[in-house]
Structure 1
């Protein structure tokens, strides 16, 4: 499972990211790509725009799920 976070608000509230990091990410419009591995949330990458995030999601699906075999 992979997802795009538009804001780091809830990462700050959960104690995973500092307020300063979240402020810089919000100013630069950085989006986090997160996935689950072994029951834990792991950052898969960072993107500057939502459309680039969607492109990375498609790449993730193609590379990890062998969609050609379906």
Structure 2
């Protein structure tokens, strides 16, 4: 079984710093039924939202490498 490392720190209300073995990311929002935005050090941007019931919505964009 591989070992993994992941840690989240709450910086401010509504702002989290997420760190794992290869990258870090900042997550904002996600309050009561609002959208959550995540920006990763690898260039990935994700917007997600919990919808009523067992539903959710997610959109991920990856920055183009130069």
Normalized per residue, the structure richer in strand is 2
Mark yes or no: TM-score above 0.5: no
TM-score normalised by the chain length of structure 2 = 0.30
TM-score normalised by the chain length of structure 1 = 0.29
